[in-house]
Amino acid sequence: MVRTLPEGEPVLGVTLLAGEIYLLRLEGRDQVEVYDVITYRLQRRLTVPNIRSCTDMTSCEHCRCVYIGDDVGECVHRLDVQGAFTRWTVNDKPWGLSVNASHNVIVTCVVVRKIKEFSSRGVSVREIALPGDVISPWHTMETRSGQFIVCHGLPDDPVRRVCMISADGRHIVHSHGGQPGSDTGQYDMPAHLAVDDNEFVFVVDAHNRRVTLLSPTLEYVRQVVSRDQLKWWPNRLYLHQQQRLLYVTENEFKDGKFTAGRVVVFSV
């Protein structure tokens, strides 16, 4: 562990942009907290106008903006580094967000089991239906070759795993996981992903309270964060490629709801 950011409201996302850390909090106002990436000091708080619910956050250095998923509003909110807010509709409930090599936004729609790609300004590029046995998809990353890495599975689902899916969405090329469990080849709830420049995959397993590293063909490499290194329940990841720092959000769960959260930074 390198550092922890301050505890506060539950954290729903974390990303970096232009030398600053952006945290997405579960709050009525001031949902976004911005910290300096070197000192970890709070710089400012931002309120996203007309947001109804938050699911995930990602960023794009090329377009210099942050994206926030809103499943109740069925839209994505865009925050420019200059501070301007806009939004665009998804027409489904967005969950996990990522940005691909074309600087487009990949939106995972958990209910309809689709991947939707949008330009930075919200123009629809394409929709891809996932294979029938990919149930409850949470987050998707696109590889340089155009294939997709998807993590999926709810506590009630019989299969919980990470899959590499063909560019057309029709076939599962590789997978890791299957029946739920806590062994190295199993997941309880694989909720979020990060992929490095060599296409190694980091997977946060929320209910097993760990982060697993997989090879580019989704073979088990090692556990990079264990439950002993976490205080609460992890749910989101961001990897800083150059510094090899992994930002992990974790939240306290008490009396049937999330009550507090923070971000823990690990060297990987």
CA-based radius of gyration for the chain: 17
The amino acid sitting at 152 is H
Per-residue pLDDT of the chain (268 residues; tens, 9 = 90+): 789 999 999 999 999 999 999 999 988 777 999 999 999 999 999 999 999 999 999 999 999 999 999 999 999 999 998 889 999 999 999 999 999 999 999 999 999 999 999 999 999 999 999 999 999 999 999 999 999 999 999 988 999 999 999 999 999 999 999 999 999 999 999 999 999 999 999 999 999 999 999 999 999 999 999 999 999 999 999 999 989 999 999 999 988 889 999 999 999 9
DSSP 81: T
Q: Which three-class secondary structure state does DSSP give residue 99? A: strand
For residues 10 and 261, give the distance between their C-alpha atoms in angstroms, rounded to a whole number.
4
Structure confidence by residue, pLDDT tens digits, 128-169: 999 999 999 999 999 999 999 999 999 889 999 999 999 999
Percent of the chain with pLDDT over 70: 100
At 72, list the tokens. Answer: 């109740």
What's the whole-number average pLDDT of the chain?
A: 95
What is the structure's pLDDT at 83? 85
What is this structure's pTM?
Answer: 0.96
Enumerate residues 6+ apart whose C-beta is below 8 A from 57. Answer: 12, 13, 14, 15, 22, 24, 66, 67, 68, 69, 97, 236
For residues 27 and 10, give the distance between their C-alpha atoms in angstroms, rounded to a whole number.
8
What phi, psi does 229 have (nearest 5°)? -95, 0
What is the structure's pLDDT at 201? 98
